Structure 1
Amino acid sequence: MKDSTAIEQPIHSVDERTISIFGYELIRDILIPEILGKDTHEILYWAGKRLARKFPLEDFDALIDFFSKASWGQLLIIKESKNQLELELMSPRIAPRVKSKAEQYFQLEAGFLAQQIEFQKQVATAEAFEHPIKKSNKVHFTVKWEKQ
């Protein structure tokens, strides 16, 4: 297996094909945690980073578009400072995951965000933390980075 850090992959446009929500949730919420067990949290985070390396995105608009095409939800910037970015993710598919109290269910997105921000900000390291908000069925992410 090649261990590349930035392979340009085309993001196919959304067409008439759809994926069953049941099928998507069956794989993501039941099968993956069953296979990965107690390491699900960490593996999903690193899998998200690896996905980001395969799909490097040049700017935040491309990141928003990717989240939409991947059916991860609508991504918004809440606040940005010198070394930190606060984001919000909304989707009807988030509600059951937020209510399940399963933190690992947003680690794939967190890892993906961390790696994309690392690319886009051209920083040494970036790390993302998820904060599910049960009352509003949203997830907030905090991405922090260091230049050196």
Structure 2
Amino acid sequence: MSEISSAEKISYNDYHVPAFGYELIREILIPELLGKNTPHLLYWAGKSLARKFPLDTFEQIADFFHQAAWGSLETKNENNNEIEFEFTSELISHQLKQKKEMSFQLEAGFLAQQYEMQKKVICEAFEHPRKKGGKVQITIKWDKKDVIE
């Protein structure tokens, strides 16, 4: 049995990543490497991740958010050309209370691409961190005329 096949059998549910390690990579290392382009590049990185992990339902997307330690994802509002999500976790709540500027462009790009693949129209996402509530809102918008072939 190869190392890869045995590694694939590991259940990630049994492991927990310390918040310090997560923040070290996300809030210090990545911005240091990407500089002022960090939010823009994270958005496109989120879209790339979504293409590598295509999901068919909201439940699968919410489960992905949980597994990736991005937080609990909920749908808040939906109409003909947009949908609004809210996600939170203890870590997000703490981060928003401690920091002036936070970027959730990775998650925004991921959601935009998932809905783009599901709806077959070009989608764009906008983040709205809510410091007071310790939550993040992401709005995805699309135009039914911008069909993907």
Q: Does 1:109 pair with 2:107?
A: yes
**Contact kept in structure 1, 2:77 and 2:83, CA below 8 Å:** yes
Amino acid in the other structure paired with 2:127? E
1:92 corresponds, among 90, 93, 100, to: 90
Alignment gaps of 5+ in structure 2 = 1-7
Q: Name the larger-Rg structure.
A: 2
How big is each residue's C-alpha offset from its partner over 1:12-60, in whole Å with a ceiling of 9 and x where there is no partner?
7533222111111100011000110000010000000000000000111
Alignment gaps of 5+ in structure 1 = 1-9
Structure with greater proportional helix content: 2
**TM-score under structure 1 normalisation?**
0.86
Deviating above 2 A after TM superposition, structure 1's stretches of 4 or more consecutive aligned residues are: 12-15, 95-99
Aligned residues: 136
2:137 corresponds, among 113, 123, 140, to: 140
Shift of residue 132, structure 1, vs aligned partner: 0.6
SS class of match (1:93): helix
**Contact kept in structure 1, 2:74 and 2:87, CA below 8 Å:** yes
Q: Does 1:130 pair with 2:119?
A: no
Amino acid in the other structure paired with 1:134? K
Q: Does 1:56 pair with 2:51?
A: no
- Using the alignment, how far apart are the partners of 1:20 and 1:98 within structure 2? 18
